[in-house]
Structure 1
């Protein structure tokens, strides 16, 4: 399942890091929101 792909998870985390590193609050918020939603989907897919 694509949402459970470790490369996708890594890219999500890199997006968060890059946004924070560039002090881009809106991008960090959006990247974190996407990561949290996808994390929830990953957990639900395993149960």
Structure 2
């Protein structure tokens, strides 16, 4: 479980800093953020099992 949380947290941090840079250059669609929020936990779950 801890590995799963660390995995998600790490990816979210990377995405957040990326998103900030993207936002500075052009409008970033928030639906993409929601999609990532759904995809990342699944990815981490598969990786940690």
Identify whether the pair has TM-score above 0.5, normalized to the shorter chain: no
Structure showing greater relative contact order (alpha-carbon pairs closer than 8 Å, 6 or more residues apart): 2
Taking structure 2 as the reference length, the TM-score comes to 0.42
Taking structure 1 as the reference length, the TM-score comes to 0.43
Larger radius of gyration: 2
